[in-house]
């Protein structure tokens, strides 16, 4: 759950959306809070990600989990 004391900031790319924090779990199962931040504007898709200490940023990921037709991220089934 997002702490109410954590201020959300406007996206520096589009200036309209809000950057939303996303959390994940590491390989050992430990929670990693705020591993990624993504703009909530559907037309922007700007994101920041921390992966093994490296910060990457850019537009909507071009992975197989992304549906280019709708511009939405698609959940992958586990298994």
Cα 23 from Cα 30, distance rounded (Å):
11
Cα 37 from Cα 33, distance rounded (Å):
11
Between residues 78 and 49, the one the model is more confident about: 49
| Overall residue count recorded for the chain in this entry | 79
pLDDT (mean) for 50-72: 63
Position 40 pLDDT exceeds 90: yes
Cα 55 from Cα 24, distance rounded (Å):
15
Position 74 pLDDT exceeds 60: no
Cα 38 from Cα 44, distance rounded (Å):
9
* Structure tokens that stand for 55 in this block: 């910060």
């Amino acid at each position: 759950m997002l702490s109410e004391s954590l201020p959300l900031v406007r996206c520096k790319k589009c200036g309209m959306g809000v950057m939303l924090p996303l959390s994940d779990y590491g390989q050992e199962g430990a929670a990693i809070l705020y591993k990624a931040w993504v703009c909530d504007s559907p037309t922007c898709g700007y994101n920041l990600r921390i992966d093994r200490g490296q910060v990457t940023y850019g537009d909507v990921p071009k992975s197989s989990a992304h549906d280019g037709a709708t511009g939405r991220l698609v959940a992958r089934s586990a298994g």
